[in-house]
A and B are shown apart, each in its own frame.
Chain A
Amino acid sequence: MALSDRPGSASLPGMTVPVSPRSGTGSLRGEQRREARAAYVYLLPVFVLFVVFVAGPLIASVVLSFTRYDVVSEPVGIGLDNYQRLAGDERVIISFRNTFVFVILSTLLEITIALLLAVGVQSRMPTFLRYVFRTAFFLPVITSSTAIAIIFSYMFSRDFGVINYYLVQLGFERVPWLNSTQWSLFTIVLASVWQRLGFTFILFVAGLQNIPRDIYEAASIDGVGPFTRLRTLTIPLLSPTILFATVIGVIASLQVFETPFIMTRGGPGDSSRTVVMMIQESAFQNLEFGYGSAIAVILFVVIMLFTLLQFWMSQRWVHYQ
């Protein structure tokens, strides 16, 4: 059979031109179906994992949030009782407030410090030194959060901590970093920012490398100073990366758990208790899985709203090249 006779080919004098198989004949539709089947097969593992570990538990949480369930006995449907109780639960409201404060402080600090560090590391310096800095800033990201929280607990101990030791040497009073309602949340922010900073830093380093050097050279010829360059060139051109880092940072902050759990157990009182700690406490300590699920559903909605809000706001300040 001549090449030009094959389905999906068209012959012109002197050459054979392949034709797109999406041209509408019956056999082509069959090929589309085969391709689609192959695609579904490739997607199947992810789809199954998604259903089992994300969609299933998500729907289960929503269903459980309308029940009273203590693991040992059967779930009992109680309508909206969990949500009504939640609305009047001062501890839950405090945990949401703490979480919002944590989100704002940690995201602001993380973005600002990571940006300054990234700009600093991208400035002129020996390549070897640049790699040392990049590695050093990134190392906390791959360190266990639990280990970091334990070490920070020792460092910030009011009575035995190294931080207070130096403060006292410098003539300051001991600060009750973990034992005071004024300080505990802020101390947790410091520990979290220290750990997560490296991830945002690496994002910014990658973003900065994508900015064409000639823009900076032109600015330099025009006599633009470093601060103006940062404000008018770097930040606008890095804005898609900043948006991504902010969205990721906010979502991670809204779910913060292990650092406050290890460093303060949410205390003193509820001063550093976060929403996820409340979910864990309700479901796994108090065995109120229905109530814990109701808090989780509200947190899910809040995360969704926060993310939508960020994307909506980004239309005003994110510039895509």
Chain B
Amino acid sequence: MAAAPSRLDRRSLLAGASAGVAGSLIATTVAARPIVPERRAPALLRQGAQVVRIAQFGSIEDAETTKALFDQFTATNPDIQVEVIPIEAPDWDQYFTKVLALIASGDTLDICFVATEGLQLFASRLASPLDDYVQRDAAQMQEYFSDVAPSLIEAMMYEGSLYSLPVDFNAANIFYSPQQFSEVGATMPSATWTIDDFTNAMRAIAESGRYGFAWTNRLWGGAIPWLFINGGNVLTEEKAPGGEWLWQSFYANDPAAQGRGGGIRWANSQANAAPNVEALQYLVDLTHELNAAPNPAQAEGDQSQVIALFSGGQLASFPAGSYLISSLAASGVTPENFDVTFMPRWKSQRHQFGTAGYVIMNDSLAKDAAWELLKFRASSDVITSVAAGGNTTPARRSLASDALWTPELGPKSYNVFYDTLDLFPDTAPIPAPPPAVEMANIFTRYVGLAMSQDQTPQESLDGMHRELTDLLARQG
């Protein structure tokens, strides 16, 4: 008796497998093809209007708010339409990753919201310099630059060119509870307080069974501000050449603009320098010797735990910028219960800041329209509406004091936010070279090891130095 043939014989199986392999190879070829260099699609048009696509950090609601802002522009410029793409992420590094994934998937972006943490990453690969536009519209731009601190502008420059018009910034200031400081008889935080005042206050508050200070292990507002006030930084800082065209045209009479360059170069690691070791040891002691600070949470932008402790009366101070005012109000913290001041003076009182703005993408075919939108977004009215209600500090000095201070929200010393730039002109941006995402990862990893006492500050900063040196060498 002949054996019944199988329904799927060997030949069919081989044919199917071959088809599978061929299909997979086609899929592979498609997946591996370089997308960006080949993308030369015409500018997106909708109903005769040019559509400008903007990547925005935040939720769908944030994107709708942004869209509503730009709609004010398109109402008077009907030939330009705006599409805002919300990109939600816990912190900037993951936002940048998602933007890059979007680009890699072939999506077209004309404008991207970028903070200091990613400015050089974008400027070195993806964004287009604004120099020609700024010089072309110099008369119009004069009003903007005269209102913006030069340190913010320099932070948006890379190798001599300007890549973004900063619209807001946040420096790491100290938010504190006046009641808790006075209850333990500690020196009240002030513009002239010192690291010793701070330490004594922390000791006294810890003895009262509360936390004196709490922070989050991230690039902004983590350990870096303490390195800064102790005269340190994880990377070397040099001025990039160029940029005279901007400083001479718009800041010729501003003493704070003297000596500015074409951006900042963070070329080498100096992570294990003595001031950094000393500053990190100070933070370790604050947690493990004085018991004045909880072990910091790992690398998240979310400060909800800090806010919960502060609003519950269990925490006396923490580092933040004005972006946190609305969250404090939402947690029931009233203006009488908190105020803001500068970081204490150690070897210096140099602060750390991060600024944000929009960049025009290299591949955009709607650059002229994008530039008009950038100027619109940097105008006083628009910055005011975004920064109102304690959401951020406007990049424009004229808006950063009484104009946006809301008595119902506080804080009393609202002017501290912009004074941080004006009173301490050496205040500088977060060190963020082109590989800033990797750098942030290395930084938080080793700070975490020191804070958990698995390594001494010296050991952890030695490790950080090795990895940062490798990283910067690899990036050339």
Interface residues of A (CB under 8 A from B): 20, 22, 24, 32, 35-36, 39-40, 47-48, 50-52, 55-60, 63-64, 67, 69, 71-75, 157-160, 176, 178-181, 264-271, 281, 284-287
Contacts and interface: CB of A to CB of B under 8 A. Distances in A.
Interface of B: 2, 4-5, 7-8, 12, 16, 20-21, 23-28, 30-32, 34-37, 93, 97, 100-101, 103-104, 125-126, 211, 294-295, 298-300, 305, 309, 435, 437-438, 441, 444-446, 448-449, 451-452, 454-455
B25 A74 contact: no
A184 to B, nearest CB: 9
Given A160-B305, A264-B298, A59 B27 contact: yes
Contacts of B299: 265, 267
B28 A59 contact: yes
A73 B33 CA distance: 10
B7 to A, nearest CB: 7
Contacts of B448: 179, 267-269
Contacts of A47: 16, 20
B95 to A, nearest CB: 12
Contacts, number: 132
Contact of B20 (A39, A51, A181, A269): A51
Contact of A72 (B2, B4, B125, B455): B125
Contact of B445 (A39, A48, A51, A269): A269
Given A52-B27, A55-B20, A269-B449, A176 B295 contact: yes
B28 A71 contact: no
Contacts of A71: 35-36, 100-101, 103-104
B7 A36 contact: yes
A281 B23 contact: no
Contacts of B455: 269
A47 B24 CA distance: 11
Nearest to B104: A71
Contact of B295 (A52, A64, A179, A271): A179
A95 B305 CA distance: 29
Contact of A284 (B101, B294, B454): B101
Given A64-B32, A180-B454, A271-B454, A51 B24 contact: yes
B454 A60 contact: no
Contacts of B37: 73-74
B28 A267 contact: no
Contact of B126 (A72, A158, A267): A72
B83 to A, nearest CB: 22
Contacts of A39: 7-8
A244 B452 CA distance: 39
B7 A35 contact: yes
A51 B8 CA distance: 19
Contacts of B23: 48, 51, 55-56
Contacts of A64: 32
B295 A56 contact: no
- Most chain B CB inside 10 Å of its own CB: which residue of A58, A72, A268: A268
A286 B438 contact: yes
